[in-house]
Amino acid sequence: MKAVIADQLVKTYDKGRVRALDGLSLDVEEGTVLSVLGPNGAGKTTVVRILTTLLRPDSGSASVAGIDVIKNPEKVREVIGLSGQYAAVDEILTGYDNLVMFGELYHLGKKQAVVRAHELLERFSLTEAAKRPIKTYSGGMRRRLDLAASLIVKPKVLFLDEPTTGLDPRGRQEMWGVIQELVKGGVTLLLTTQYLEEADQLADEIAVIDTGKVIARGTSDALKKQVGGERLEVVVDQANVAKTMEIVAAVSGNKAILDEGLRLISAPVSTGSAALFEVLKSLDSAGIHALDVGLKRPSLDDVFLSLTGHAAEEKQAEITEKKRGRK
């Protein structure tokens, strides 16, 4: 069963001159994680805002848990949770008071809100900080509390819009652990991110979007296969570079490429580990000791570059530069 369906969504701004979404379609199978991957400005937040009833599309249709997002927004809000890029908690209140407040806003009743607040504080390792004002929390703690608040009503579908933006590597790892626990509990999750590693870690499937459209979709492995096979990589001493290039080219059947700074010789291969064993055997026969040798699979960064013609960070920098130019 499809827990989330978006069909041909269009959203424009500035009297139609800017198309945030341009016929975007996607769906999420119940109990799975779909990561919507793309640079800033690709349309990730716009599609989340539409699916969570915060924004109406110009055209197209959408449903969440079988409920029409446009016709029955109130019913949709009863079955979803949303955690955005910026924490929606009150900095003056304590973590505990924030969760109780959210519970009461969702009409749980005081007693049930208190019980749920304690459950979530323990689940997200915030019990010790429960009585401290939010303004004393670290960035990672605020994000965990914001995520806890989105789970007050035990949603069927959870939307996380760039949940680790602004966190340091440790905070990001902690948030990944929390998200993985939620998924084990059976929550359907739509996750937007501009971090390729994050999508690789968390998602069952990945939808790559650019300029308001889904340009590719599949598992991480399937998307990587679109880029091509593995690459054989060998690092040797400078004196052995020329001979090693000949060996790598012969084993791979392709032209060997040299990164002079790293003395890294590489070539695409289709035989996987067999090519690795063959090159090691040939190097040994030639009396060459490899400093490093291995097979490299394409990364999601390679996928994104192949699909869009630019890396995610390049697109982000381009958008930032344009914004600066308008100031």
- For 38-166, strand residue ranges (E) read 59-64, 67-68, 80-83, 157-161
Token reading at 146: 């914001």
Q: What is the pLDDT of residue 189?
A: 94
Residue 123 predicted with pLDDT over 90: no
**DSSP states of 306-324 as a string?**
HHHSS-HHHHHHHHHHHHH
Which DSSP string do the residues of 65-94 spell out, in sequence order? TTEETTT-HHHHHTTEEEE-SS--S-SSSB
pLDDT at 195: 82
For 18-56, write each residue's pLDDT tens digit: 999 999 999 999 999 999 988 778 899 999 999 999 999
Query: How far is 84 from 82, CA to CA, in rounded Å?
Result: 6
Query: By the 8 A CB rule, do 31 and 186 touch?
Result: yes
**What pTM value is reported for the model?**
0.75
Hunting for tokens 């109780």 — which residue is that?
Answer: 100
**What are the C-alpha distances in Å from 146 to residues 95, 115, 119, 143, 164?**
10, 17, 14, 5, 12
CB 26 within 8 A of CB 2: no
- Cα separation, 192 vs 210, in Å, equals 13
Q: Which residue has the tokens 């198309």?
A: 19
Q: State the angle between helix axes of 273-285 and 241-252 in degrees (0 to 180), rounded to the nearest 10.
A: 140
Give residue-wise pLDDT tens across range 174-217: 888 888 888 888 889 999 987 888 888 899 999 999 889 999 99
Q: pLDDT category, 322, cuts 50, 70, 90? A: very low
Structure tokens, 67: 């409920």
Residues 192 and 299: their CA atoms lie apart, in Å, by 18
Report the SS3 class of residue 53.
coil
pLDDT at 82 over 50: yes
Beta strand 292-296 with 67-68 is unpaired
Which domains occur in the chain, in start order? Answer: 2-225 (3.40.50.300), 229-296 (3.30.70.2190)
Secondary structure class of 250 (helix, strand, coil)? helix
pLDDT grade for 222, boundaries at 50, 70 and 90? confident
Average pLDDT, the chain: 87
pLDDT of residue 87: 60
Higher pLDDT, 54 or 272: 54
**The sheet that has 257-259: what strands, in order across it?**
257-259, 264-269, 230-235, 292-296
